[in-house]
């Protein structure tokens, strides 16, 4: 690898992380800012063409991103919303692929219907990263967020299967719709089984690994193992990875505390780096894709892009309300299982959360070089992806505020439930402490017992105080809030002493790092309180 290539490989993640850092600092949407920055940078003289390699995106970037999202999701909540997720991840994807294909075939002269269907499959799956990030920040209700996450996890499998069928039909392979449906079910089913097998094996291994670094090093390999194992036999790698992530996320409490503490940090960093690079890459495709359109009339291709963008948006808007309310109207079983009807505000937000992402671009770039009107399909895919990210992405936060959607009631319910659970846990802990100190076998200093008792009682008190925002009836600080404030100041003073002693060569750096880690863990518990 020469120096210029190495420099290019360094500049992409470095620039992407700089933009992502700016977005996080200013409270802006990082995916949108990264795409816009990539669009601008692609026209800066001297900037190399960062060609999006579909194989790298699908086999290197996609597995850990899917796995991380799955790991962070809730199996129980996804189980509760399996019907709406299925209607979005399968029904809406297939409908979008067909409608976009039909319109593209009628709109674009000389574009075969199978090739138009391939375009529909390419732009059918949504990327919920930006919508979920905004929704969490602005307090979107938990069920609406879970539906968006579940759709984003599973719709890639549907879209990529439809894409393969359409591409095969375009290049002349005989395609039977019924057979294609069977192959889809077989691919998803085998992917599910492979995912479960790898999840079970990985779960056993991770539970036995007490070294947090080794365990998290192994976890970085798990999504690739799941994806490659499924793809190697023609099954759905996407389904396999998602199943592994959901299973291991549900079983995470069975691993050691060190593994759990480090796991959160590891996957947050992986998410930040990969998502920053991916969204920057989307914007950086602007110049080469537009350059490939030389010889075509700009007004003509702009018309195609606008019409198909509107089709993509309107199909989702037309699908979501009936898919939400009709099953409830027609089925007593659905009404019994889901007694609370979704609010119209959440339905509107779900209808508008149709941003597309890098999977669509990767699929477009993976089209064979001889594919009919390949350059035009690349441009249309790029135009639709960028349009959804800018139009829907920029307006999503405004729409949440305009509709007055909030999860304040959910947060209060969570705090109330946590307070009760903390009280029950503290009672159990104190009872166990009494048992251990009452048997007379082990002599325990009374001061130690009082410290342990005070810590257990303080945790329960903090949970109840959180219901009142950490303040008393007259606005004064509660005892737990005073404790946290004073203890933070004490930790600052302690750190200063340890650093000064290190600088005076009275303690070694290794001692400093060990002590600082202990103080950091204690401060992390204070932040949680």
State the SS3 of 52-95. Answer: CCHHHHHHHHHHHHHHHHHHHCCHHHHHHCHHHHHHHHHHHHHH
CA separation for the pair 512, 529 (Å, rounded): 26
Handedness of CA 95, 96, 101, 102 (dihedral sign): positive
**Does 240 reside within a domain?**
yes
Q: Does residue 201 sit in the same domain as residue 136?
A: yes
Bridge partners for 476 per DSSP: none
Q: Does residue 495 sit in the same domain as residue 511?
A: yes
**Does 369 reside within a domain?**
yes
Q: Does residue 202 sit in the same domain as residue 81?
A: yes
Q: Does residue 429 sit in the same domain as residue 379?
A: no
Q: Tens-digit pLDDT profile for the chain (529 aa)?
A: 567 777 777 888 899 999 999 998 888 888 889 989 998 998 888 877 788 888 888 899 999 999 998 888 888 888 888 899 999 999 999 999 999 999 999 999 999 998 999 999 999 999 877 677 777 777 788 888 889 988 988 998 889 888 988 888 887 665 566 776 777 888 889 999 999 999 999 999 998 888 888 999 999 999 999 999 999 998 889 999 999 999 998 887 777 777 887 888 899 899 899 989 988 988 888 888 888 877 778 889 999 999 999 999 999 999 999 999 988 888 888 878 777 888 888 899 999 998 998 889 889 998 988 898 889 999 999 999 999 988 988 888 889 888 888 777 777 776 677 666 667 777 777 777 777 777 655 566 777 777 777 777 766 666 666 665 555 555 566 666 777 777 788 778 888 888 888 888 877 777 777 777 777 777 777 765 5
CA separation for the pair 377, 365 (Å, rounded): 9
**Does 475 reside within a domain?**
no
Q: How far is CA 182 from the centre of its chain?
A: 30
Those residues whose C-beta lies under 8 Å from the C-beta of residue 234, and which sit 6 or more positions away, are 187, 190
Those residues whose C-beta lies under 8 Å from the C-beta of residue 479, and which sit 6 or more positions away, are 461
Q: Does residue 260 sit in the same domain as residue 286?
A: yes
Provide the residue range defining the domain that includes 315. 3-406
**Does 473 reside within a domain?**
no
Q: Does residue 48 sit in the same domain as residue 100?
A: yes
Q: Does residue 92 sit in the same domain as residue 182?
A: yes
Q: Which of 406, 432, 456 is the last residue of a domain?
A: 406
**Does 472 reside within a domain?**
no
Q: Does residue 21 sit in the same domain as residue 83?
A: yes
Q: Does residue 418 sit in the same domain as residue 488?
A: no
Q: Which of 358, 380, 406 is the last residue of a domain?
A: 406
- Give how far Cα 460 sits from Cα of 253, 403, 435, 453, Å: 21, 36, 20, 11
CA separation for the pair 249, 72 (Å, rounded): 6
Q: If you ran DSSP here, which 8-state letter would residue 391 be given?
A: I
Q: Does residue 287 sit in the same domain as residue 422?
A: no
**Does 37 reside within a domain?**
yes
Q: Does residue 207 sit in the same domain as residue 325?
A: yes
Which of 274, 319, 255 is closest to 65 using CA atoms? Answer: 274
**Does 365 reside within a domain?**
yes
Q: If you ran DSSP here, which 8-state letter would residue 342 be given?
A: P
Q: Say how many domains are in the chain.
A: 3
Orientation angle between helical segments 30-41 and 393-403, nearest 10 degrees = 150
Q: Does residue 191 sit in the same domain as residue 172?
A: yes
pTM of this prediction exceeds 0.75: yes
**Does 474 reside within a domain?**
no
């Amino acid at each position: 690898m020469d120096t210029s290539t190495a420099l290019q490989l360094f500049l992409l993640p470095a620039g992407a992380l700089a933009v992502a850092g700016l977005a996080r600092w200013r409270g802006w949407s990082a995916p949108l800012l990264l795409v816009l920055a990539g669009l601008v940078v692609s026209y800066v003289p001297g900037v190399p063409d960062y060609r999006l390699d579909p194989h790298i995106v699908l086999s290197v970037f996609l597995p850990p991103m899917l796995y991380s999202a799955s790991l962070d999701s809730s199996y129980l909540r996804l189980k509760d919303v399996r019907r709406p997720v299925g209607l979005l991840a399968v029904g809406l994807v297939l409908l979008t692929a067909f409608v976009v294909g039909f319109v593209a075939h009628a709109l674009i002269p000389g574009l075969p219907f199978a090739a138009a269907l391939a375009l529909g499959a390419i732009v059918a799956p949504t990327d919920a990263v930006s919508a979920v990030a905004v929704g969490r920040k602005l307090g979107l209700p938990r069920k609406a967020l879970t539906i968006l996450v579940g759709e984003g996890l599973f719709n890639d499998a549907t879209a990529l299967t439809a894409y393969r069928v359409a591409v095969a039909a375009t290049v002349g392979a005989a395609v039977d719709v019924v057979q294609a449906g069977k192959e889809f079910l077989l691919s998803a089913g085998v992917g599910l089984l492979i995912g479960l097998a790898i999840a079970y094996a990985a779960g056993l291994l991770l539970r036995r690994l007490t070294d947090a670094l080794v365990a998290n090093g192994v976890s970085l390999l798990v999504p690739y193992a799941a994806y490659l194992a499924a793809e190697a036999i023609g099954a759905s790698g996407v389904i396999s990875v998602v199943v592994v992530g959901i299973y291991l996320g549900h079983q995470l409490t069975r691993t050691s505390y060190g593994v759990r503490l480090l796991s959160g940090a590891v996957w947050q960093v992986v998410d930040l780096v990969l998502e920053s690079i991916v969204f920057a890459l989307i914007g950086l495709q602007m110049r080469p894709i537009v350059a490939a359109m030389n010889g075509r009339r700009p007004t003509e291709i702009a018309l195609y892009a606008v019409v198909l963008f509107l089709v993509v948006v309107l199909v989702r808007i037309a699908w979501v309300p009936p898919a939400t309310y009709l099953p409830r109207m027609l089925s007593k079983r659905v009404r019994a299982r889901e007694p609370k009807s979704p609010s119209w505000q959440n339905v509107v937000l779900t209808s508008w959360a149709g941003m597309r992402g890098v999977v669509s671009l990767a699929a477009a770039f993976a089209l064979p070089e001889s594919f009919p009107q390949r350059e035009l399909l690349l441009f249309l895919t790029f135009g639709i992806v960028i349009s959804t990210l800018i139009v829907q992405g920029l307006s999503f936060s405004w729409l949440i505020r305009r509709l007055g959607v909030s999860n304040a009631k959910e947060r209060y319910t969570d705090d109330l439930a946590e307070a009760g659970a903390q009280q029950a846990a503290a009672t159990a802990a104190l009872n166990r402490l009494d048992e251990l100190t009452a048997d007379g076998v082990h002599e325990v200093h009374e001061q130690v017992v009082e410290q342990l008792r005070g810590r257990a009682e303080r945790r329960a008190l903090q949970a109840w105080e959180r219901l009142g925002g950490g303040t008393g009836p007259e606005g004064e600080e509660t005892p737990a809030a005073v404790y946290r404030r004073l203890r933070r100041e004490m930790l600052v003073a302690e750190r200063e002493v340890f650093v000064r002693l290190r600088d005076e060569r009275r303690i070694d750096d290794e001692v400093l790092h060990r002590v600082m880690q202990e103080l950091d863990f204690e401060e992390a518990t204070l932040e949680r309180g």
